[in-house]
Chains A and B, each alone.
Chain A
């Protein structure tokens, strides 16, 4: 059973008409307010299933480094792994330990995250699915909430392929590709249904969307459950884009992406009822087309810098090409020289063989020329010590 959980609906969110749909959206246009004044600003939900210990450590390390510590961390671990996760957590600094609880949760990713959502106390919740956060995420999200309370807050998440290597016998992650930032533009549905997909994380969602509107993850969307939840939350609460890179997502080579079948379910759900653009979507789209003089200046400076790099590279290529041409010419000369030498050797051999075969022609003009060339060749090789070798060969 799906659990998109609109108020009163309980199950499927299918609305018969736009009016029905709008009637079910109490939060739209009147943004959600922080749910728990006594709780922290933000709850991080950290999944562990299928994650490496070193990856989990790196996520927790990035939370230790947050400039704003008004947050809690819920580490979601399978019951069998709770002790191991607690032991790992015990090795982190007190500032993080005091803000962290381990939640025993099992089942699908949706089930696990929902268990965390049920325990969260923050005004906002954010999913850390193999993410390393930059140190200003909490600070950035809070500043955005102060500008636009009640909306989802979205940062840019870069994705990077990694693998595991062992140096000195210890496991460590090794990045194997450049960090890429799909979905850096203001939020749009297209980023979440058209490949390459924007990351489905890096968003702080008002907890009231979960507690008051009952929007939790729906396991029936399988690998697309997190994305479905994001789209649904944005649909209900709106979204503000911070424009800041806030996290890096490690993508292991052996971990599969969302499947086409699950994404098809997501498209089906979006198609099932009218979609209202998130608050501010039109302004964001317009802003993206307006010339910003500062941004233009920065872009021009960056362009100038890149142009120079390209020029340097061009110069380098030109130098290499010049060297290559010189080498080619040298090679050609060597070939020509070699051909002459071979010709000289052949003539010398022929000359040596001549008296036995055709003694009557020893005094011919042609023979004189060959003799002269052979003598010249012998003389030239004397200095290099190869004269005897030539004689030995004849």
Chain B
């Protein structure tokens, strides 16, 4: 992938690959159906039960609840802990605020001790081999982040069919070494609320000299509702936050040309969420809330047509 080949191994961080391949699964709940949480935990419990034979260490679950009211009661949690005994732990935090994903995952990661962190949407159902196959890719010291393949709808991003190397990883289900996560400062919660925090983190990983890898053999089910022609149907909030994040990401990674072009388009849009996103970006600019720019030579970040952050294999 562009940029990475030019880097030297001396720029890599000091991540080592421990015999202990312990994994902590982090999920942010927001009004999540407890039944969905149960399905997800059952699948992780199965993965944990079989994982030792595949070289997987202890698997623990850390849930962060950003809902206005608790999604899981103490009784729920006791029942889940009693049922899913292959899991090393099921921890739960009620945030008492809508943290979004970046801040929520940073909060869950703080104080953890596992070797690897997995960010997971709360309704993900993993194949039992997914975690082990992802961990195995960290045997190569240059690997800094691994993304699983989502099913039924696979992300169309391009990746190397032998090494799996790709431009960025979606944190709907992605793994990274804790030591690297801490070195990089976790997700940029100052900038991102719930979109593009994963693209940004991926680019930080690559900037540090590591690879971002897509593993098609690690399959996780992530349900979607599509229109009859197979298109994604975003909600109003998803449109706003994804539009806002697009501007913030372009700014952070020194693509003022992209910012200018996208902002102009949004400002002239008939779609309210896009206009609002442009307005919010302008406010942040005027109040000095934007972070320092990086990658001035444009070595790491990729901005493709149609707002993509890596080349796509097909339209979706």
Contact = CB atoms under 8 A, between A and B. Distances in A.
Contact of B137 (A165, A168, A177): A168
Given A173-B216, A184-B229, A178 B316 contact: yes
Contact of B214 (A156, A158, A167): A167
Nearest to A248: B152
B213 interface: yes
Contacts of B137: 167-168
Contacts of A312: 261-262, 265, 306
Q: How large is the interface on B (under 10, 10 to 19, 20 to 34, 35 or more residues)?
A: 35 or more
Contacts of B274: 308
Nearest to A180: B230
A21 interface: no
A218 B216 CA distance: 37
B223 A308 contact: no
B224 A134 contact: yes
A382 interface: no
B99 to A, nearest CB: 26
Contacts of A172: 149, 215-219
B39 interface: yes
B302 interface: no
B197 interface: no
A180 B156 CA distance: 14
A23 interface: no
Interface in B121-165: 125, 127-129, 133, 136-137, 149, 151-154, 156, 159, 161-164
Chain A CB within 10 Å — which of B161, B225, B230, B262 has the most? B230
A344 interface: no
Contacts of B46: 91-94
Interface residues of A, number: 52
Nearest to B233: A298
Contacts of A136: 223, 225
Q: Which DSSP category, helix, strand, loop or mixed, fits chain A's interface? A: mixed
A62 B152 contact: yes
A321 B190 CA distance: 38
A178 B230 contact: yes
B133 to A, nearest CB: 5
A156 B163 CA distance: 35
B314 A176 contact: yes
Interface string B296-316: 000000000110000001111
Contacts of B221: 61-62, 64-65, 135
A134 B223 contact: yes
B6 interface: no
B226 interface: yes
Interface of B: 35-36, 39, 42-43, 45-46, 50, 125, 127-129, 133, 136-137, 149, 151-154, 156, 159, 161-164, 213-219, 221, 223-230, 261-262, 265, 269-271, 274, 305-306, 313-316
**What 3 A-B pairs have minimum CB-CB distances, sorted nearest first?**
A172-B216, A170-B217, A172-B217
25 contacts: A58-B127, A62-B151, A62-B152, A67-B36, A91-B46, A91-B129, A92-B128, A93-B42, A94-B42, A134-B226, A136-B223, A158-B226, A158-B230, A168-B217, A170-B217, A173-B149, A174-B154, A174-B161, A175-B156, A178-B315, A179-B153, A179-B226, A181-B230, A304-B270, A308-B271
